[in-house]
Amino acid sequence: DGKVKIYTNAEGDKFIDLGKKKRAVVRSFKGVALVDIREYYGADGEEKPGKKGISLTLDQWDTLKEGSDAIDRFFAEQKKK
The CA-CA-CA angle for residues 65, 5, 9, to 5°, reads 100
Residues 9-55 have pLDDT tens digits of 888 889 999 999 999 999 999 999 999 999 999 887 678 889 989 99
Task: Evaluate whether 23 touches 37 at the Cβ level (below 8 Å).
Answer: yes
**Full DSSP string of 24-66:** EEEEEETTEEEEEEEEEESSTT--EEEEEEEEE-HHHHHHHHH
- Assign domain 7-80 to its CATH architecture: Roll (2.30)
User: What is the predicted pLDDT for the residue at 43?
Assistant: 80
Domain regions of the chain by residue span: 7-80
What is the pTM for the complete model shown? 0.78
User: What is the predicted pLDDT for the residue at 1?
Assistant: 57
User: What is the predicted pLDDT for the residue at 42?
Assistant: 87
User: What is the predicted pLDDT for the residue at 12?
Assistant: 86
According to DSSP, the residues that pair with 45 across neighbouring strands are none
pLDDT average, residue stretch 62-78: 95
